[in-house]
Amino acid sequence: MSEIGFRDSHALDHEDPLAYLRERFEIPKMPDGQDTIYLCSNSLGLMPRAVVSDIQQVLADWAQRGVQGHHSGVQPWLPYHHQFASPLATLVGANASEVVVMNTLTVNLHLMMTSFYRPHDARKKILIERGAFSSDRYAVMSQIACHGLRPADVLIEVAPRPGEDTLRRDDVIDVIERQGSTLALILLPGVQYLTGQCLDIRELTRAGHRHGAKVGWDLAHAVGNVPLSLHDDGPDFAVWCHYKYLCAGPGAVAGCFVHERHAEDTSLPRLAGWWGQEERHRFEMLPSFQPTAGADGWQLSNPPILSLAPLIASLDAFGAAGMSALRRKSLALTGFLRARLETRLGDRIQIVTPSDSAEHGCQLSLRIRSTPAGRRVQEALGSAGVIGDWREPDILRLAPAPLYNRFADIDRAVTILEHVLTPNE
């Protein structure tokens, strides 16, 4: 067991240089007014308190200025989305022109596949993982159908080995090498939503590119969770949402990365809209479309300002802390959780998430082996104030977030889980 498992949680909280950030967030309460132990940021991050005033600012400008709010006010709406490019680029390791905030994740995935999944001749296949998140899978299947192809002919799914839960990098590289020049696109998750496994973006991207495939990443569970270096790792595109670790609220406007090498490529087919039109010509209403260079050129509509507002506070919190300090605390928190689970619960649970720090983020996925089985564990935890989430048939996901979780939260959560899993005498 790692050193940290022997430490006192209150001492760890006392030493935590990021402890001050918790104050910036609303922590959901139990009926008796106590803070819940919120371990569900993999699903929905908590609300930064400053969101209220940021939204009120938009409402006030709208009320007082009407259409003039596009050009005047504290934060005029026309350039509103530009404020996110730089902090977001820092967070994902990209240039500002490579990222854009727009739409929602699945919509962006479709936009990206329209440009980067271009099956032709012998190169028609698309490689995903067998356990892909449903929406990604549906998006892929429907893109295949839109090209008049059949998933049975062109969809390749990599899977963990029999009896294993997570993918082996070399197995994925093997499949890429065997499929070689038949691969049109590789689409994989940065962090797998169910197992919490972190994949090697750089190595897998390079393997795909060596064989001439385009490579895209779904970073829904990776952004704000693990350090990313998209520009250097070099994928063609990436998509993610902002309501999980990024704390920008339910259904928040999502993010998208397009590598610089495609910035000026007007030969790429794309679904176009006026917000992707070169900015200085946007209001000239020209009959022909000239995309803005960079990721901005994939925008369709004028952005939903009210829904963008919550991103300000959340990116502020990430900027204040810095991703490397957050990652340091995250590894400590998750390491502490793992150590406590192993000592207190032993083989009543199996931790599915890889233990190597390069292969996991905040989340640990536990397979529950003992009674009471199934979803009842999750319900019992919920009534004791521990908010995790349950995935059928037997996985409990617990994700301590370095922005606001404390080591003491983990101590209590494990005590409660132990209690829940201990059969009544």
| Structure tokens that stand for 299 in this block | 């925008």
Catalytic residue among 116, 133, 245, 336: 133
Cβ pair 258, 298 in contact under 8 A: yes
Catalytic residue among 218, 236, 389, 411: 218
Minimum distance of ligand PLP from residue 53's CB (angstroms) = 26
> How many C-beta neighbours within 10 Å does residue 74 have?
10
Catalytic residue among 244, 270, 327, 329: 244
Residues contacting residue 409 through CB under 8 Å, at least 6 positions apart: 37, 38, 39, 400
Minimum distance of ligand PLP from residue 398's CB (angstroms) = 16
| Structure tokens that stand for 233 in this block | 């790792």
Binding stretches for ligand PLP (CB under 6 A): 104-106, 133, 135-136, 189, 193, 218, 220-221, 241
Give the span between the Cα atoms of 55 and 63, in whole angstroms: 12
Minimum distance of ligand PLP from residue 62's CB (angstroms) = 26
**C-alpha distances in Å from residue 206, one per residue of 127, 328, 392:** 14, 27, 34
Give the span between the Cα atoms of 229 and 135, in whole angstroms: 25
Cβ pair 336, 10 in contact under 8 A: no
Nearer to ligand PLP, 22 or 242 (CB): 242
Minimum distance of ligand PLP from residue 194's CB (angstroms) = 9
Taking Cα atoms as reference points, which of 336, 333, 372, 260 lies closest to residue 41? 333
Nearer to ligand PLP, 117 or 336 (CB): 117
Nearer to ligand PLP, 88 or 241 (CB): 241
Minimum distance of ligand PLP from residue 131's CB (angstroms) = 10
169 catalytic, yes or no?
Answer: no
Give the span between the Cα atoms of 35 and 52, in whole angstroms: 20
- Three-state DSSP at 320 gives helix
Q: Is the peptide bond before 423 cis (omega within 30 degrees of 0)?
A: no
218 catalytic, yes or no?
Answer: yes
Give the span between the Cα atoms of 103 and 158, in whole angstroms: 29
Minimum distance of ligand PLP from residue 3's CB (angstroms) = 32
Nearer to ligand PLP, 124 or 397 (CB): 397
Nearer to ligand PLP, 252 or 351 (CB): 252
Give the span between the Cα atoms of 158 and 162, in whole angstroms: 12
244 catalytic, yes or no?
Answer: yes
Catalytic residue among 397, 404, 407, 411: 397
Catalytic residue among 80, 116, 193, 243: 243
Amino acid sitting at position 62: W
Nearer to ligand PLP, 61 or 359 (CB): 359
User: Annotated catalytic sites, by residue?
Assistant: 133, 218, 243-244, 397
